[in-house]
Amino acid sequence: DTAVSQTPKYLVTQMGNDKSIKCEQNLGHDTMYWYKQDSKKFLKIMFSYNNKELIINETVPNRFSPKSPDKAHLNLHINSLELGDSAVYFCASSQGQGRYGYTFGSGTRLTVV
Amino acid sequence: QQQVKQSPQSLIVQKGGISIINCAYENTAFDYFPWYQQFPGKGPALLIAIRPDVSEKKEGRFTISFNKSAKQFSLHIMDSQPGDSATYFCAAKISQGGADGLTFGKGTHLIIQP
């Protein structure tokens, strides 16, 4: 009964490839997010999305794009992967602008070689 | 510009001792301050959170102290146990309007020695 699930858990790919990470939440939350955790464990928000609005962190390259087929899913597409994209990517969800907290998935470790 | 500054970067505490992690923020519009605990290979999990209308919140062995005038808040872990060894992140957000996500500190790697 995983609340926020991400697939795959590990992803190794070559530079220049295009890849996707999937995320699903079964909590009925209205907002989903993608966070990036770098090698120093710093967590930084990439996207915030509900069924009305997508908010993009201005520092995120446009090679990254979220796709939400429905309220329970927010997938992350990455084009033309670069070495610097190697990181752990976390999906998260919240309800009511996070006043009850955020629930994170267990992460996808992306390694670009 | 880092909006939430966390210290120390790493901390070693003996079992049974008190672990203290400090955070300072810059944006006075922040009005929700959670602490997250992360174990290796796992996502961050909410530990405890506080809003600026109170100066302290306690849940079990975990206490948040909040100083609005100094724009600082801290996590105290009483009777620290080896199972508390993890990375701890403070965070902050603006509840209403604007970007909805959390702004995190850089994390504290806590080791509790038996």
CATH number of residue B70's parent domain: 2.60.40.10
- The answer to whether residue A94 neighbours chain B at the CB level (below 8 Å) is yes
**Mean pLDDT of all residues in chain B?**
92
B78-93: pLDDT as tens digits: 999 999 999 999 999 8
- List chain A domain ranges: 4-112
Question: Hey, how many other C-beta atoms are within 10 angstroms of the C-beta on B77?
Answer: 24
* B107 pLDDT above the threshold of 80: yes
Q: Please give the pLDDT value at position B105.
A: 95
Total domains in chain B come to: 1
Domain of B43 in residue numbering reads as 4-113
- The answer to whether residue A102 neighbours chain B at the CB level (below 8 Å) is yes
* B96 pLDDT above the threshold of 70: no
Looking at per-residue pLDDT, the higher value among A96 and A80 belongs to: A80
**Mean pLDDT of all residues in chain A?**
91
Say if CB A103 and CB A5 are below 8 A apart: no
Mean pLDDT in residue range B86-110:
85
Which CATH architecture fits A4-112? Sandwich (2.60)
Half-sphere exposure of A69 (CA within 13 A, CB side): 8
What is the SS3 assignment for B6-44?
A: EECCEEEEECCCCEEEEEEECCCCCCEEEEEEECCCCCC
Say yes or no for a CB contact (<8 Å) between B41 and A40: no
The percent of residues in chain A predicted with pLDDT above 90, rounded, is 68
Of B34, B95, B109, the CB nearest to A97: B95
B43-79: pLDDT as tens digits: 999 999 999 899 999 999 999 999 999 999 999 999 9
Q: Please give the pLDDT value at position B97.
A: 58
Of A55, A103, A106, the CB nearest to B99: A55
A43-83: pLDDT as tens digits: 999 988 886 678 777 789 999 999 988 889 999 999 999 99
Beta bridge partners of A47: A34, A56
- The answer to whether residue A89 neighbours chain B at the CB level (below 8 Å) is no
**Nearest 5°: phi and psi at B87?**
-100, 130
Q: Which two tokens stand for residue B45?
A: 């999990």
Of A102, A106, A108, A109, which to mutate for an interface test with B (greatest number of B Cβ within 10 Å)? Answer: A102
Q: Please give the pLDDT value at position B2.
A: 65
Say yes or no for a CB contact (<8 Å) between B102 and A102: yes
Say yes or no for a CB contact (<8 Å) between A42 and B100: no
